[in-house]
Amino acid sequence: MEPLRGSHFGRGLLFLRLWVWAEDASPSLHTHQAQSRLKHSELIRNMTRTILIHPFALVCLFFVIAAGLQFPGLQAPMYYDSADSILKQENTFAKGDIFKIIGIFPQRPVPMLSFYLNYLIGGMSPVYFRLFNQALLAATAVLVTLIVGMILDLPGAWRRGSEGERRLVSAALGLLFLIHPFQTYVTLYVWQRMALMACLFSYGSLAMYLAVRAGRLSNKTLGYSAVLILFMAGCLSKENAIVLPAVFLLAEIAFFAADWKQVLVRGAMYGAILTALIGLLSFLESPHGKPELGSGIFTVIVNYYKQSGHSFWEVLLTQSRVLFYYLSTVAFPAPSSVQLIRPQVISTSIMEPPTTFFAVIAAAALAIAGAWLLRKRPLVGFGALFFLIALLPESFLVPQYAFFGYRAVFPMLGLCLIASDAILALLAAGRKTKERRLAHAGCVSLLLVTVAFWASVTVEKAVLWRTPLEMWRDVVSQFPRHVNAERLVASHALHLLGAAEAEQGNYSEAAWSFLRAVEANPNYPEANYNLGKALLNLGMVEESLGHLRKAWELKPDYWQAHNNMGVALARLGRPKEAVVHFEKALAINPQDVPTRNNLQTALRQLKIIEERGGESAGQ
**DSSP character string of 418-478:** HHHHHHHHHHHH--SHHHHHHHHHHHHHHHHHHHHHHHHHHHHHHHHHHSHHHHHHHHHHT
pLDDT score for 282 = 75
pLDDT score for 26 = 36
Percent of the chain with pLDDT over 90: 63
User: pLDDT tens digit string along 16-27?
Assistant: 333 233 334 334
User: pLDDT tens digit string along 528-550?
Assistant: 999 999 999 999 999 999 999 99
Nearest residue to 184 (alpha-carbon basis) of 501, 454, 491: 454
At residue 617, does pLDDT exceed 60?
no
Burial (CB count <10 Å: 0-12, 13-18, 19+), residue 612 = exposed
Nearest residue to 145 (alpha-carbon basis) of 225, 71, 61, 220: 61
pLDDT score for 513 = 95
Nearest residue to 73 (alpha-carbon basis) of 340, 437, 349: 340
Provide the pLDDT confidence category of residue 11 given band limits of 50, 70 and 90: very low
At residue 5, does pLDDT exceed 50?
no
Q: Are 469 and 497 in contact (CB under 8 A)?
A: yes
Tell me the average pLDDT across 341-347: 92
At residue 44, does pLDDT exceed 60?
no
Provide the pLDDT confidence category of residue 209 given band limits of 50, 70 and 90: very high
Distance, in Å, from the CA atom of 174 to the CA atom of 142, rounded to the nearest integer, reads 6
Tell me the average pLDDT across 165-188: 94
Paired with 349 in beta bridges are: 352
Distance, in Å, from the CA atom of 470 to the CA atom of 486, rounded to the nearest integer, reads 22
Tell me the average pLDDT across 5-30: 37
Provide the pLDDT confidence category of residue 33 given band limits of 50, 70 and 90: very low
The Cα angle at residue 494 between residues 493 and 497, in degrees rounded to 5: 90
pLDDT score for 260 = 81
At residue 521, does pLDDT exceed 70?
yes
Tell me the average pLDDT across 84-112: 93
Q: Coil, helix or strand for 404?
A: strand
Tell me the average pLDDT across 198-226: 93
pLDDT score for 135 = 97
Provide the pLDDT confidence category of residue 204 given band limits of 50, 70 and 90: very high
pLDDT score for 286 = 73
Provide the pLDDT confidence category of residue 283 given band limits of 50, 70 and 90: confident
Distance, in Å, from the CA atom of 53 to the CA atom of 11, rounded to the nearest integer, reads 8
Summary mean pLDDT of the chain: 86
At residue 255, does pLDDT exceed 70?
yes
pLDDT score for 46 = 52
Maximum Cα–Cα distance for the chain, whole Å? Answer: 119
Q: Is-cis flag, bond preceding 353, omega within 30?
A: yes
Q: How many residues does the chain have?
A: 619
Tell me the average pLDDT across 133-158: 92
Tell me the average pLDDT across 577-590: 91
Tell me the average pLDDT across 101-115: 93
User: pLDDT tens digit string along 51-96?
Assistant: 445 778 889 999 999 999 999 999 999 988 899 899 999 999 999 9
User: pLDDT tens digit string along 430-448?
Assistant: 656 677 778 778 888 999 9
Burial (CB count <10 Å: 0-12, 13-18, 19+), residue 61 = middle
Distance, in Å, from the CA atom of 350 to the CA atom of 509, rounded to the nearest integer, reads 39
User: pLDDT tens digit string along 442-481?
Assistant: 888 999 999 999 999 999 999 999 999 999 999 999 888 8
Contacts of 56 (CB under 8 A, 6+ apart): none
Provide the pLDDT confidence category of residue 288 given band limits of 50, 70 and 90: low
